[in-house]
Amino acid sequence: MSLDKLKLSKQLLTSLQESGLTDALPLQSKVIPRINGGQGVVCIAPEGCGKSSSIVLSVINRLKFPFEEVPRALILVPDRDRATLLLEKFEEFNTKSGLRIITVYAGAGIDGQREAITEGVDIVIGTPDRVLALYLKSGLNINKLQQFILDDAELIVKQGLQTQVHQITLSLPKCQHLVFTEVYHEKLERMISYIENPVMVEFEPEPETILETIPQLVYQVPNYKTKQNLLNLLMSETDTYRKVLIFVKTRLTCQNLFKSLDRRFPGEVAILKPLVYEHQGFKSVEEFKKSAKCRILLIANEIEQFINYTDIQYILHFDLSTDIEQYIERVKISNFTDPAPVSITFSTDIELVISRKIEVMTGNKMVVEPLPPGLVIQGDRKKKVVETDSKGFEKSADPNQGAYHEKKATNAKDYNWGWKEKNKLFGKKYKRSNKK
């Protein structure tokens, strides 16, 4: 589609033409007309489809030229690097509009940023923590906002900045709300619940290449504890899971999973090249396949070797590594002989970004499997009615509870290393002193 058909302002079209751009990207032609119509929009698209450029074009087209002394567009980004990249995009297409833009983030002086805003600005790009800090210090007036935008919203969730976003939205005037994200999940849905009836725009680009892979299944689970429960539940089906390889990020995770599985399936679980000699282990996958009793082998990504997958029924990815190429090499059909195993991935909301990138790079969608009956979901929020105070903070059920709160899932653990095991795993750092 030609950029002329997007109903952009004349000065913006001139800037685009001077940059050598005449045609709109498929995502731009799909999302910008809806933004121009004034609707609240949630745009879901993979990286590289033009989400940032869609933000820039829609904001410049809406504001057109400098007018008020206070901001009319506020864009929240997850970190300083993305704020800088988005600013560069604006500078590229803002040559004719002359809109005043400032970036705010932690690490720079907050007083200098406050002074820059008071001098007059049209667009503020910032991280949620610094934007909230400026607002609380009366350094940011948001009473005349026309657009409130979240860019890379899934990364804002990943960095745990939902509370800051929520507190900012409590003071927003009536304005247009836009959200751009790679994936959409429950945590993100809760964060943007302030938007009433948004239009969902989901964009799937045509894959450049389609790789032949083994069947890929995915279980979407809320947290690490539920992953463990699901793994134990699946492994209890001994007739189905006769020879299984389980890939995890680190060797320490191998040790923790071994403790959990070995309690339920003694003698049936082993580690490839274990750190602790008491744990059952094998030097190679071939040695594991020859074992009559052992059916589950835990493998850390960091020590992965060439694997012959013959006689293996299932390949499980307990947690996804950021090394996507490593995953793709495991599931290529060229690595297997008939019958090929099945790949199963356990993905939390945070890891959905990685699984989405895998789907884009392979050209194949993972089949989402329903969670099996009997699975215990840790921290199921649906069973808990949360009461909040006027500021949006959760109230304690016990008035005498004080500052006590439950541990986060990332801090919870179901293992307890003794000092001897710590010494074997980590060396002298944890060595017990004999001095009295």
| 216-368 belongs to CATH 1.10.260.40 | no
Residue carrying the six token digits 């589609």: 1
CA angle 364, 324, 189 (to 5 degrees): 70
Q: Which residue has the higher pLDDT, 265 or 20?
A: 265
Do 3-202 and 216-368 share a fold?
A: yes
Does pLDDT of 68 surpass 50? yes
Domain residue spans in the chain?
3-202, 216-368
Q: Which two tokens stand for residue 218?
A: 């995915």
pLDDT digits (tens, 9 = 90+) for 40-50: 999 999 888 88
Strands (E), 283-399: 296-300, 314-317, 342-347, 367-368
What lies within 8 Å, CB to CB, of 416 at 6+ separation is none
Distances (CA, A) of 415 to 97, 222, 255: 59, 20, 10
Residue carrying the six token digits 């030229």: 65
Half-sphere exposure of 241 (CA within 13 A, CB side): 23
Q: What is the DSSP letter of 106?
A: T
Distance, CA of 124 to CA of 140 (rounded, Å): 9
Q: Is 215:313 a contact under the CB 8 Å cutoff?
A: no
Q: Is 46:356 a contact under the CB 8 Å cutoff?
A: yes
pLDDT-derived band at 406 (thresholds 50, 70, 90) equals low
pLDDT-derived band at 383 (thresholds 50, 70, 90) equals very low
pLDDT digits (tens, 9 = 90+) for 343-367: 999 999 888 889 888 988 888 889 9
Distance, CA of 55 to CA of 86 (rounded, Å): 9
Does pLDDT of 396 surpass 70? no
Give the class (CATH, top level) of 3-202: alpha beta
Q: Is 219 left (phi over 0), alpha (psi -120 to 50) or beta?
A: beta
pLDDT digits (tens, 9 = 90+) for 146-193: 999 999 999 999 999 999 999 999 999 999 999 999 999 889 999 999
What lies within 8 Å, CB to CB, of 10 at 6+ separation is none
pLDDT of residue 391: 47
Q: Which two tokens stand for residue 24?
A: 């709109």
- At residue 259, the 3 state secondary structure works out as helix
Q: CB atoms < 10 A from the CB of 304, how many?
A: 16
- What are φ and ψ of residue 125, in 5° steps? -115, 125
Mean pLDDT of the chain: 85
Q: Which residue has the higher pLDDT, 293 or 393?
A: 293
Provide the residue type at 196 as one letter. E
Distance, CA of 23 to CA of 16 (rounded, Å): 10
